[in-house]
Amino acid sequence: MDQDPVQRMHALAEQLDGLLHAMRRLQDENQQLRAAQEQLVSERAALVAKNEQARSRVEAMIHRLKSLEHNA
């Protein structure tokens, strides 16, 4: 049997409340994930920069060693 209009309205209101709660939870989770992603991107950029600095230092050492080898 069909629900009477009041019961149907009450059921729809409960569904809407559930959907609103789920939406808020997903918005919060999305915000946290975006913040975590931003942090990871920042950390990656810092690691890439450190890696490049280390590579430059190693290359400079190699050049110095080669020049010492040629001068010896």
pLDDT of the chain, 72 residues: tens digit per residue: 567 999 999 999 999 999 999 999 999 999 999 999 999 999 999 999 999 999 999 999 999 999 988 887
CA atoms within 13 A on the CB side of 25: 6
C-beta separation of 32 from 24 below 8 A: no
Q: What pTM value is reported for the model? A: 0.68
Q: What confidence score (pLDDT) does residue 3 get?
A: 75
Q: Where are the domains of the chain?
A: 34-72
